[in-house]
Chains A and B, each alone.
Chain A
Amino acid sequence: MGLKALDYETLNENVKKVQYAVRGELYLRASELQKEGKKIIFTNVGNPHALGQKPLTFPRQVVALCQAPFLLDDPNVGLLFPADAIARAKHYLSLTSGGLGAYSDSRGIPGVRKEVAEFIERRDGYPSDPELIFLTDGASKGVMQILNCILRGQGDGILVPVPQYPLYSATISLLGGSLVPYYLEESANWGLDIDNLRESVAQARFKGITVRAMVIINPGNPTGQCLSEANLREILNFCYQENLVLLGDEVYQQNIYQDERPFISARKVLMDMGAPISKEVQLVSFHTVSKGYWGECGQRGGYFEMTNLSPQTVDEIYKIASIALSPNVPAQIFMGLMVNPLKPGDISYEQFVRESQGILESLRRRARLMTDGFNSCKNVVCNFTEGAMYSFPQIRLPPKAMEAAKKAGKVPDVFYCLKLLEATGISTVPGSGFGQKEGVFHLRTTILPAEEDMPAIMSSFKKFNDEFMDQYEDNWNHSRM
């Protein structure tokens, strides 16, 4: 006699609306094929260690020692661990309230937050308050917490770049808010146009939406562009005029592959601009241990820093954080190690630098390799990956290909990416997962496959692409005759 308790029909509508292509259709198909024995190259997510990048040695040594503090009492521990790792493990353990197994302060271990504040001060030249820094289980959780705080309902809009990392669109859907898109200009190196921004806001307001916040991803994901200081000033001025809180996703700040536009934080520019803007514009900045040259995605370590939010608001955010009790402690230690790195003279310093530089230099080379590789393909145009971890080539699909896609019941870029997957094992994410201008198609891949595998991957892609284009263009040419 039982009634069905939870049917698809009775699910929260907001959940149904959520899309997250990074682990959507292409990824699921790739996983299926992998199970069938096909060799798959997963380039769907920024997951460096899954593609062979090795973890940095020093942090792993420190956290292993923190996991098993009885090692520190063993006289032979020095045979396996260098003295500076041992010292650092003791340092972090002393900052916890009972080791890795105790809930920390809901905002994160105070001593680690202090290290984060010191890092921010060294980076930007302005003091930072540890009380306004909250550690989170990955930057994504932080983004969700802040958006949950801002969004009251459908009437609230968040300005999000298109293309964007779909955490933003998914979270806004989940929370029942409205996404207000602003388009990045591909032909201008994925640049941001203030007039376009203003128009987006005006349109949203015309529809009765209160625009509350603006998201910037710098360096961009999937687009990779690095914002200039002038860009950031423009954006901050815009937020000041339009009364928006700026959400600065800066998780790729270590991943910079050109020298013209080094990373500059939104906070630094804000402070540089002086009063009244520096005292009034509200800003939340996000960072993580998942990207950079660390790539410690699996740890789930991140933080957000709040600027110009009232103490009462901070209090409410703290309250919500406290329901989850605390972020995971091992990741907090990774965060501490990331913001408080080794110094010249430390025993492990040279190895650390060698490992880090090695990774960054290789990423820089791969960014170039991939961009050039895509640009050598028929009907493919690709902006240079200035930063982050992705390449986002534009695929100019012939009309016949689009027809074939329609027949197959698929969006054109999904169709292309599925064919690519089946032919080459390269698993990408279709551009529609990130948003793009109407009728323009892309795919996102990462620059993370091992350097030695890159040439083969790029030539495999080129072979597929050029054959695909020949196939669908030939038909077209043929029909013209």
Chain B
Amino acid sequence: MRRFVIGSARSLIERSRQNYQSQRPLISSSYRLLSSTPAADSPSSSSSTMAPPVALNTINPKVIECEYAVRGEIVTLAQKLQEEIKTKPDAHPFEEILYCNIGNPQSLGQHPITFFREVLALCDHPTILDKSETQGLFSADSIERAWKILDQIPGRATGAYSHSQGIKGLRDTIAAGIEARDGFPADPNDIFLTDGASPAVHMMMQLLIRSEKDGILCPIPQYPLYSASIALHGGTLVPYYLDEATGWGLEVSELKKQLETSRSKGITVRALVVINPGNPTGQVLAEENQKAIVEFCKQEGLVLLADEVYQENVYVPEKKFHSFKKVSRSMGYGEKDLSLVSFQSVSKGYYGECGKRGGYMEVTGFGADVREQIYKVASVNLCSNISGQILASLVMSPPKVGDESYESYSAERDGILSSLARRAKTLEDAFNNLEGVTCNKAEGAMYLFPRIDLPEKAIKAAEAEKKAPDAYYCQRLLTATGIVVVPGSGFGQVPGTWHFRCTILPQEEKIPAIVTRLTDFHKSFMDEFRG
């Protein structure tokens, strides 16, 4: 059974440490004599009194401690209900489970970008590039791009391990894409292609965290990869609270306060995580805000870990995505001034290619000896998957005006982005119409994070079931409507407040039904528990 509430991690650590200490010690000479007959030894030396080598009380306690609610308990329940509907369609008051728990667009019907898939298919099976029939099935520029990419791969071997940072030619393309985006140069040697952005985050945590005395500043609410990764690597999460009242604003004064508090407790704060656009909160930082953050990191000697995977998901005209790289360079800060790691992924944006596991980190402002170590860690896994590498390069250099595929590409892209913007607004309004619910606008990313003012009676009902109140609400929502969302405690929230995260990803035609079901459920829930 998985638990959500981050605050319970401490009791978890305690419990797991107690388990570790009470584990039966293995006596050095207590092995059985080698014999061909089953051991008929005295009880003290038979293995049945020894715990098996891998059991819950003997595994790495950091594994026990870490949590990841996005695919946690509520999802397990949803899958169970889904199975039940399959065999007995009338088992529940809904026909289907609607997974609004995870940023997985293509699982909910979003189509991939055709041009990207054409190129990937050709790179997977280059033999057909020589065939005339291929011209009839693929666009000319996808064929051209496939040739260009294959020429950058030694021997055109897409099945070979590449350079551990990723294929050089693809990194050149990505660096050029970064430069085109920011107006400041990027070095292909700063780029590490990874199986999604998540492994890159893990790599940085591994480098930064030496012990529980090392702290990483993380936003609350945050995408729980960060809390989980910090726990796995044995570090300390130092929370900084985003301000719900000001659209999830990030105040440097809050950063300073948390930094000082943790330092006074003997924690060495190593890095600051900023997710922009935010997950689950959806805010897009204003450039001035970003400058203050850069200044803060520079002054305090912190590595800035900039999670920018939603850089293409901005839905409001008054905001624009600015990379932290661009912001810091525009302030005149270079390699000597700021240590910055920027993460990008193929999973989000308008391409939504989650299943491909493609992404990269751009690492700037570190000494050569540190970079060598980053390379070394990357090399143990040899390389990231080649198809994902190719896709990352396509995402950073899509068709341009004048290319044969440009019009269809931009139509697909704009269609997806405008639909996402509409769905974000529709769901935001729907949540704000619910009694006791307020929902900040999703300026970007793929989520809404409404806050529910749960009545006292509901909180008590939750406690009676040994559940966090928001988890209780989410479970009731699931069993009544089939809608799967993630309780706010999985992301962190100001104690005593309750939220849940809902994606904006179900297909547009399903949204009205979702709104109706949600609204009806909420009304009856409030009827049941209103004080």
Closest to A67 in B: B121
Interface contact A140-B381, CB-CB below 8 Å: yes
> Is A439 engaged at the interface, CB distance under 8 Å to the other chain?
no
List A contacts of B47 (CB < 8 A): 240-241, 243, 280
**Are the CB atoms of B387 and A16 closer together than 8 Å?**
no
Contact (Cβ within 8 A) B157 A320: no
Contacts of A96 in B (CB 8 A): 355
Across-interface contacts of A244 in B (CB, < 8 A): 53
Asked if A2 and B370 make an inter-chain contact with CB atoms under 8 angstroms apart, the answer reads no
Q: What does the 1/0 interface line of A269-280 toward B look like (CB < 8 Å)?
A: 000000010001
Q: Does A254 contact B (CB under 8 A)?
A: no
Q: Which residue of chain A has its CB nearest to the CB of B388?
A: A328
Within 8 A of A (CB), among B348-380: 352-357, 365-367, 369-370, 373, 376-377, 379-380
- Cβ–Cβ contact A12 & B52, under 8 A: no
Residues of chain B lying within 8 A (CB to CB) of residue A282? 52-54
B66 interface residue, CB < 8 Å from A? yes
Residues of A within 8 A of B496 (CB): none
A152 to chain B, nearest CB (A): 5
User: Within 8 Å of chain B (Cβ to Cβ): is A47?
Assistant: yes
* A312 near B56: Cβ-Cβ < 8 Å: yes
Chain B residues, CB < 8 A from A339: none
A150 within 8 A of B: yes
**Which of A235-283 touch B at CB < 8 Å?**
237-238, 240-245, 276, 280, 282
When distances are taken between beta carbons in the complex, the residues of chain A under 8 Å from B224 are 323
B31 x A241 contact (CB < 8 A): yes
Does A340 have its Cβ within 8 Å of any Cβ on chain B?
no
Asked whether B114 lies within 8 Å of A70 as measured between CB atoms, the reply is yes
- Given known A140-B382, A202-B28, contact A64–B125 (CB-CB < 8 A): yes
Residues of B contacting A138 with CB < 8 Å?
381-382
- Is A330 located at the chain interface by the 8 A CB criterion? yes
Q: Contacts A2-B301, A74-B137 given: A241-B34 contact, CB under 8 Å?
A: yes
Determine whether B298 belongs to the interface, using a CB cutoff of 8 Å to chain A: yes
User: CB-defined interface of B224-237 with A at 8 Å, one 1/0 digit per residue?
Assistant: 11001100100000
**Other-chain contact of A328, B71, B107, B158, B195 (Cβ < 8 Å):** B195
Stretch in A183-191, A206-214, A452-460, A462-470 touching the partner: A206-214
B residues within 8 A CB of A52? Answer: 155
Number of A interface residues in the complex (CB < 8 A): 113
Say yes or no: is A99 at the interface (Cβ < 8 Å to chain B).
Answer: yes
Q: How far is the CB of A64 from chain B (nearest CB, A)?
A: 4
The answer to whether A323 touches B229, judged by C-beta atoms less than 8 angstroms apart, is: yes
Whether B367 contacts A141 by the Cβ 8 Å rule is no
Identify which of residues 109-124 in chain B touch chain A, using a CB-to-CB cut-off of 8 Å: 109, 112, 114, 117-118, 120-122, 124
B107 touches A8 (CB 8 A): no
Interface size on B, residues (CB 8 A): 113
Interface contact A12-B206, CB-CB below 8 Å? yes
Judge if A295 is at the interface, Cβ distance under 8 Å.
yes
User: Does residue A310 face the partner (Cβ distance < 8 Å to B)?
Assistant: yes
State whether B207 touches A11 (Cβ < 8 A).
Answer: yes
Contact of A243 among B53, B124, B127, B339 (CB under 8 A): B53
Name the contact of B196 in the complex, choosing from A63, A171, A325 (C-beta under 8 A): A325
Nearest-neighbour CB distance to chain A for B513, whole angstroms, equals: 20
- B2: chain A residues at CB < 8 Å are 319
Name the one of B121, B158, B300, B338 contacting A68, with C-beta atoms under 8 angstroms: B121
User: Is the CB–CB distance between B34 and A76 below 8 Å?
Assistant: no
Cβ A50 vs Cβ B161 within 8 A: yes
Q: Which of A156-194 contact B (CB under 8 A)?
A: 167, 170-171, 174, 194
**A47 to B: closest C-beta gap in Å:** 5
The interface bits of chain A over 1-20 (1 if a CB of B lies within 8 angstroms of the residue's CB, else 0) are: 11111111011111110101
A102 at the interface (CB under 8 A from B): yes
For the complex, give the distance between the alpha carbons of A280 and B46 in Å.
12
On chain A, the residues within 8 Å of B347 by CB distance are 103
Closest A residue to B156 by beta carbon equals A49
Contact of A300 among B60, B210, B384 (CB under 8 A): B384
- Bound-complex Cα distance A244 to B47 (A): 11
Q: B384: which A residues are within 8 A, CB to CB?
A: 300
Q: How far is the CA of A3 from the CA of B225 in the complex (A)?
A: 28
User: 0/1 per residue, A44-80, Cβ < 8 Å to B?
Assistant: 0101111010010100110111011111001011011
- Tell me, yes or no, whether A324 is within 8 Å of chain B by CB: yes
Cα-based distance from A174 to B206 in the complex (angstroms): 8
In the complex with contacts A15-B206, A319-B68, A324-B198, A80-B131 CB distance below 8 A: yes
Give residues 94-120 of B contacting A (CB, 8 Å).
Answer: 102, 104-109, 112, 114, 117-118, 120
Whether B128 sits at the interface, judged by CB under 8 Å, is yes
Residues 52-109 of B at the A interface (beta carbon under 8 Å) = 52-56, 58-61, 63-64, 66-68, 70-72, 102, 104-109
Interface string of B456-472 (1 = CB under 8 A from A): 00000000000000000
- Does B385 reach chain A (CB closer than 8 Å)? yes
A152 and B106 contact, CB distance less than 8 A: no
Q: Is the CB of A171 within 8 A of B386?
A: no
Residues in A with CB closer than 8 Å to B401 are none
Chain B residues with Cβ below 8 Å from A296 are 159
- Compute how far the CA of A198 lies from the CA of B106 in the bound complex, rounded to whole angstroms: 53
- Let me know if B373 and A76 touch, CB within 8 A: no
Q: What is the CB-to-nearest-CB distance from A212 to chain B, in angstroms, rounded to a whole number?
A: 5
Is A324 touching B199 in the complex (CB atoms < 8 A)? yes
Give Cα distance in the complex from A141 to B154, angstroms: 25
Instruction: Say whether B321 faces chain A, with CB atoms less than 8 Å apart.
Output: no
**Which listed residue (B64, B137, B302, B381) contacts A80, Cβ 8 A?**
B137
With a cutoff of 8 Å between Cβ atoms, the chain B residues found around residue A16 in the complex are 373
Contact check: which of B124, B206, B228, B357 meets A137 at CB < 8 Å? Answer: B357
List CB contacts (< 8 Å) of A300-330 with chain B: 300, 308-310, 312-313, 316-317, 319-320, 322-330
Does chain A have a CB within 8 A of B270? yes
CB within 8 Å for A310 and B55 given contacts A103-B107, A328-B355? yes
A346 to B526 CA separation, bound complex (whole angstroms): 61
Contact check: which of B53, B377, B382 meets A15 at CB < 8 Å?
B377
Question: Is residue B136 contacting chain A, with contact meaning CB distance below 8 A?
Answer: yes
How far apart are the CA atoms of A300 and B118 in the complex, in Å? Answer: 21
Given the interface pairs A50-B157, A63-B125, the reply to whether A313 lies near B357 with Cβ below 8 Å is: no
In the complex, A298 has a CB within 8 A of chain B? yes
**Nearest CB of B to A157, in Å:** 11
Contact with B along A112-145 (1 / 0, CB 8 A): 0000000000000000000000000110110010
Contacts of B356 in A (CB 8 A): 100-101, 328-330
Is B337's CB within 8 Å of the partner chain A?
A: yes
In the bound assembly, the distance between CA atoms of A300 and B53 in angstroms comes to 29
Cα separation A324 to B380 with both chains bound (whole Å): 18
Are B34 and A300 neighbours in the complex by a CB distance under 8 Å? no
Tell me if A102 and B158 are in contact (CB < 8 A): no
In this complex, the member of A4, A98, A138 whose beta carbon has the largest number of chain B beta carbons within 10 angstroms is: A98
- The reply on B134 being an interface residue by CB < 8 A is yes
Contact of B102 among A48, A67, A103, A148 (CB under 8 A): A103
Contact: A49 with B71, CB < 8 Å?
A: no
Contact: B53 with A212, CB < 8 Å?
Answer: yes
Give the complex CA separation of A297 and B160 in angstroms: 5
Taken together as a complex, chains A and B put the C-alpha atoms of A241 and B198 apart, in Å, by 40
Contact yes or no, B107 A97, CB < 8 A = yes
Mask: chain A, 328-347; 1 = CB below 8 Å from B; 0 = not:
11110000000000000000
Contact between B104 and A300, CB atoms less than 8 A apart:
no
Q: Is the CB of A237 within 8 A of B34?
A: yes
Residue numbers in A under 8 Å from B149 (CB-CB): none
> What is the distance, in angstroms, from A279's C-beta to the closest C-beta of chain B?
11
Sample 10 A-B pairs with CB under 8 A, ordered by A number: A8-B369, A11-B207, A11-B210, A98-B355, A101-B352, A103-B107, A152-B20, A298-B383, A317-B63, A322-B68
* Given A5-B270, A101-B352, A300-B357, 16 additional A-B pairs, CB 8 A: A10-B210, A23-B382, A50-B155, A64-B122, A67-B387, A100-B355, A101-B112, A103-B347, A150-B60, A151-B60, A241-B31, A241-B34, A298-B386, A312-B56, A323-B228, A328-B388
4 closest residue pairs by CB, A with B: A3-B301, A329-B355, A64-B125, A102-B107
